[in-house]
Structure 1
Amino acid sequence: MSGNNPRPSGPAAVVCGLAGWLPPRVVTNDELSERLDTDDQWIRTRTGIGRRHLAGPGQATSDLAVEAGRRALESAGTGSVDTVIVTTTTPDRPCPATAPVVAARLGLAGAAAFDVGAVCTGFVYGLATAAGLIASGAARRVLLIGADTYSTIVDPLDRTNAIIFGDGAGALVLRAGGPDEPGAVGHFDLGSDGAHEDLITVAAGGSRQRSAGVTPTHAERHFAMRGREVYRHAVTRMAASARTVLDRAGWKTDDVDHFVPHQANLRILHSVADDLGLPRERCVTNLDTVGNTGAASIPLALAHAAAGHRLRPGDRLLLTAFGGGLTWGSCLLTWPGITTAPSPERITP
């Protein structure tokens, strides 16, 4: 298939390693029902989620990122990269970034390391950043990690959001290679609309709240989302972005073997697939067992699908995401023949 727009000049970013990690604590819908006015059927009907993993006491985002990163490096058969990117909404601290800590703990001290913050679109933004670094020659091998501990910012008594989010991390290793190799990352589409910043937010903790000198309320310290408006924007933006990137590559919908969206909730995933005219069975999802894991959701979904032998070398993948900001993005990927770590569900301690 010939694309409408050529890929950027220079080497392509090629996926050569993949892994995910989930903290060991599993929280079922029934357990949530003990403290929230809900039940398993209500949660499954509205979200498609049956359980999620939550970080334990004292467990930070970097801890999850290190575990996923270590396994991705093992999958790639390397202990060396020159750049580490961590995409997250829940960094260990406001300052410094989490990536340098992760790099040091992985024995990668000296590598360039930085965070990317685009909320649930973070992994696609991070993937575009990694591909750009490799295409420019600034990096030859990149460890890209999506990691979030939403349990640290979601109010556990918030019936709306506590049922949706889980904690986890997923990672890819990318190397410089040829644009026609299996594993080569293809075209991208990225976008944002900051006029709707208030739809997904944690109001307190940043310079806006601190400079005002006002003590934040309990609600302002926690994650908030205006669900109905987010649903409408998510479906519209993800579908439009997916169409744009398909058009840029000259792909038709029928060319897509697997659709891998950000795992927001099952209704959104199915609505986007329907809007694109993609059969729902092509949609890769692990929502039932992990929930919405933010920036970790796409690499975790890939890790689960690869461990289940659903992805085969040469399969054509469409990735798309939507998150706070508002932000959105899509990219194309041809799946490589790589040795993946076991399913994240089976490698928790």
Structure 2
Amino acid sequence: MGQTSAVYITGCGAHLPGAPVGNDEIASRLGGTDPATARRRARVLAANGIRQRHYATGSSNEELAAAAVELAVKDAGLAMGEVGMLATGTTMGDQLVPGFAAMVHGRVGGGPMELLSAGGVCASGMAALKAAAGAVALGEHDAAVVVGSELVSRVLAEPRFTAGGRSTSDAEFLRWTLSDGAGAVVVSSRPRPDRESLRVEWVRSVSYAHEYPAGMRAGEGWLDAPSAAAAEAAGLFRLRQDVSALPSLFRLGVERVRALVDIRTIDHALVHWSANTFRDRIFAEIPEIAGISFSNLETCGNTGAASIFVMLEEAWRTGRFKAGDRILLAVPESGRFTVSFALLTCVGPAQLVDDLAHVWTELEQRLATVPIVRRIEDSTATIDDYRALLVNLRQQVVEGGRWISRAASNFSAERFELRSAAIRHAAEEHRDFLLLERDFVAVGGDLGEIRLGAKNPGSEALSAFIMQQASRPDPVDLLGAMFVIEGLGTAKALGWARMLQDQLGLADGQVSFLRYHGENDGEHVSEMHRLLGPLMSDPVACAAIVHTARITARLYALQLEEIR
């Protein structure tokens, strides 16, 4: 079992099916137009404050969940095949067997993955989050996706809702409060390099079922029914809510909040309350929450296990969070008295990314003044210029394979990923100088000349500096050198190859080195970004990477400046 480490929410997705349904339309969708029901509906809507909600038509719960999962994975910049775990939470799946997570996995695809189907009601989504965050923190997966999803409207509509007897006030509370939707988050072992992430500080969930009876139930006695049809006719699958139990749940939630956090240190509170009347009571008990709370209950409805993720997705997407903000998630569940909480911290894009971008900007500005580069980009380069470029690059390329191998040998066992990457890189590029030699001969150069060519002062300085860094223990700073050298391949090499071909009438086989790196170094840059992820929270490593990148950039430019 690996050591635990920080985990981050790096993507969010929410799926609310169909067009919003306003308060004047819900009776036409769910039934209940008689005067008594209309009066109860008006009382419930006045209490919960919901103005619109969403109901699925012709969809399954797994379809709603799959849509939210796909949005979250895309938002995180991942492919489904990169997800190692799917954790789901829902009140009622589409069927009793198999588990809900297996059905969602079958719909979203990807590859083999760990599954978890969390049961319960509203807090089941938080249970899924806790399990996924724990698995990623233990190093079992690099990324996991969590989804809470509900398709409750199918048991709220007549005649199913009134099956087995007359509707009651408690049942009507659910009928005019609950709605359909799904929300998902991606939990990753590394923060995003390009935008904010939400670090998961902790997730806490506590049941008080030993002290309280069930407050919400469905399906009681269905196993004793002679048939599924008889259970349906008796209304055994109809959701029932004991509204009188809710004040006790409210008190438990307030007590747990006070025990877990000092609200004065929280910047945003996302609380899953089923009605604005409960919101008002929370504000009265904990006044500090009033100024920091966010809820979209009024516009999205109560989507049960999905609600907290639907809230989080909107709050994050609309820019409510900034780096350093602390976000409290709170989900009380009236199924049988569970209260769940999570604390998140918004972390900005690593400073490392901004610093490296600044290094690159400086390099581009410097290259614009280098004579050989200016002639290539001004369409005034000669064949002698191109041959001189190849002669000078060849000496540095030969050295490249050596310093990469040296770096690999100096990474410790704790840096095995960097060591493995360096070994792969050395194996891929140690023969690249042969491409240079072939290109040189193909444009009229003498093979002996390029092989006997001496390093210019810039090449000497660059080789000496990088070899020195590669000889140190755990030379993680060489990622900065990789950023510059591979970045030049991705950003410049292919463009230079095409310009030289146009200016000098060269064939592809005469610019194969530049074309190869222009077309393939993007993969190396992607690998570099992957390796940078775990280092972004280490300020010493980040400073070293930027320092080496800046020196490498200056010496690489000097190498090109020395080409006469």
The one of 89, 94, 108 equivalent to 2:110 is 108
Match of residue 225 from structure 1:
241
- 1:140 paired with 2:138, answer no
3-state SS, counterpart of residue 116 of structure 2: strand
**What CA distance in whole angstroms lies between the structure 1 residues aligned with 2:142 and 2:53?**
35
Aligned-partner SS, 1:144: strand
Q: Which runs of 4+ in 1 moved over 6 A?
A: none
The answer on whether the counterparts of 1:91 and 1:98 sit within 8 Å (CA) in structure 2 is: yes
In 1, the alpha carbon distance for the partners of 2:3 and 2:278 equals 35
Greater RCO, CA 8 A, separation 6+: 1
Displacement of 1:293: 0.3
C-alpha contact (below 8 Å) 1:24/1:55 kept by paired residues? yes
Q: 2:178 aligns with which of 149, 162, 165?
A: 165
Q: Decide which structure has greater helix share.
A: 2
Q: Within the alignment, does 1:315 sit opposite 2:337 as a pair?
A: no
Task: State whether residues 322 and 346 of structure 2, in contact with CA within 8 Å, keep that contact through their aligned partners in structure 1.
Answer: yes
Pick from 268, 272, 296 the counterpart of residue 258 of structure 1: 268
How far residue 32 of structure 1 moved from its aligned partner, in angstroms, is: 2.8
Distance in 1 between the 2:278 and 2:292 partners?
A: 15
Tell me the CA shift for residue 336 of structure 1. 4.2
What is residue 331 of structure 1 aligned with on the other side? Answer: 342
Distance 2:300 2:223 in 1: 34
Q: Which residue is 1:5 aligned to?
A: none
Q: How does 1:274-313 map to 2 (within 5 A)?
A: 274-313=284-323
Kindly state the Cα deviation for residue 39 of structure 1 after the two structures are TM-superposed. 8.3
1:218-255 Cα deviation digits (max 9, x unpaired): 4422100011212x123112212222321xxxxx2111
Q: Aligned letter for 1:47?
A: N
Match of 2:219 in 1: 203
Name the counterpart of 1:61.
Answer: 61
Other structure's SS at 2:236 match: helix
Which whole-Å deviations, capped at 9, do the CAs of 1:255-302 have from their partners, x for residues lacking one? 111111114111223322432332423111111111110000000011
Within the alignment, does 1:18 sit opposite 2:33 as a pair?
no
**1:95-147 alpha-carbon deviations (Å, 9 max, x no partner):** 00121222232232311122111311112211111121122222221100010
Name the counterpart of 1:342: none
Question: CA–CA distance in 1 between the matches of 2:142 and 2:66?
Answer: 21
Distance (whole Å) between structure 2 residues aligned to residue 278 and residue 154 of structure 1: 36
Cα distance between partner residues in 1 of 2:209 and 2:308: 23
Q: CA deviation at 1:27?
A: 2.2
One-letter code aligned to 1:185: V
> Structure 2-normalised TM-score?
0.53
The answer on 1:185 being equivalent to 2:187 is no
Q: SS where residue 222 of structure 1 aligns?
A: coil
Unaligned runs of 5+ residues in structure 2 are 162-166, 350-564
Is the 2:16–2:181 Cα contact (8 Å) retained in structure 1? yes
Contact 2:87 2:117 (8 Å CA) reproduced? yes
RMSD: 2.4
Counterparts of 2:329 and 2:289, CA distance in 1: 15
Could you list the per-position Cα deviations for residues 288-318 of structure 1 after superposition, in whole angstroms to 9, with x for gaps in the alignment? Answer: 1111100000000111222322222322111
Query: Is contact 2:16–2:180 with CA below 8 Å preserved after alignment?
Result: yes
Q: Which of residues 164, 188, 192 is equivalent to 1:175?
A: 188
CA–CA distance in structure 1, aligned partners of residues 152 and 85 of structure 2: 25
In structure 2, the partner of 1:347 is none
Structure 1 regions of 5+ residues with no counterpart?
Answer: 1-7, 247-251, 339-349
Q: 2:281, 2:177 → 1: CA distance?
A: 18
- Tell me, yes or no, if the aligned pair for 2:88 and 2:117 is still in contact at 8 Å: yes
Aligned residue pairs, count: 319
Specify the alignment match of 2:480 in structure 1.
Answer: none
Whole-angstrom distance in 2 between the partners of 1:94 and 1:68: 22
2:70 equivalent in structure 1: 70
Going from structure 1 to structure 2, the CA distance change for 1:209 and 1:40 (only over 3 Å counts) comes to closer
Match of 1:346 in 2: none
Query: Is 2:268–2:328's contact at 8 Å kept on the other side of the alignment?
Result: yes
In structure 1, distance between residues paired with 2:225 and 2:106:
36
Q: Distance in 1 between matches of 2:56 and 2:348?
A: 32
How far is the alpha carbon of 1:54 from its aligned partner?
Answer: 0.5
1:192 deviates by 1.0
SS in 2 for 1:278: helix
SS in 1 for 2:182: strand
In the alignment, is the contact (CA less than 8 A) between 1:30 and 1:39 conserved in 2?
no
SS in 1 for 2:189: strand
TM-score computed with the length of structure 1 as normaliser: 0.84
The equivalent of 2:209 in structure 1 is 194
Alignment match of 1:31 (pick from 25, 32, 45): 25
Letter in 1 for 2:284: D
Distance 2:180 2:14 in 1: 11
Name which of structure 1's ranges 233-242 and 270-279 shifts more when overlaid on structure 2: 270-279
Question: Match for 1:23: what amino acid?
Answer: P
Larger strand proportion of the pair: 1
Supply the distance in 2 between the matched residues of 1:166 and 1:311 (Cα, whole angstroms): 27
Percent identical pairs in the alignment equals 24
Residue 33 of structure 1: CA displacement? 4.8
- Cα distance in 2 for partners of 1:213, 1:281 equals 54
Residues 71-110 of structure 1: CA deviation (Å, up to 9, x unaligned) = 1011100012100011111212110012122223223231
Distance 1:139 1:233 in 2: 39
Q: Distance in 1 between matches of 2:330 and 2:61?
A: 23
Tell whether the 8 Å contact from 1:40 to 1:50 is kept in structure 2 after alignment: no
Match of residue 47 from structure 1: 48
- Cα gap change, 1:210/1:24 in structure 2, threshold over 3 Å: closer, same or farther? same
Distance 1:129 1:142, change over 3 A: same
CA distance in 2, matches of 1:41, 1:213: 38
User: Is 1:95 the counterpart of 2:113 in the alignment?
Assistant: no
In structure 2, C-alpha distance between the alignment counterparts of 1:32 and 1:182, rounded to whole Å? 38
Q: Which digits, 9 at most, give the CA deviation of each residue in 1:198-219, with x for residues without a partner?
A: 3101034xxx531465843544
CA distance in 2, matches of 1:41, 1:162: 12
Distance in 1 (CA, whole Å) between partners of 2:252 and 2:237 is: 28
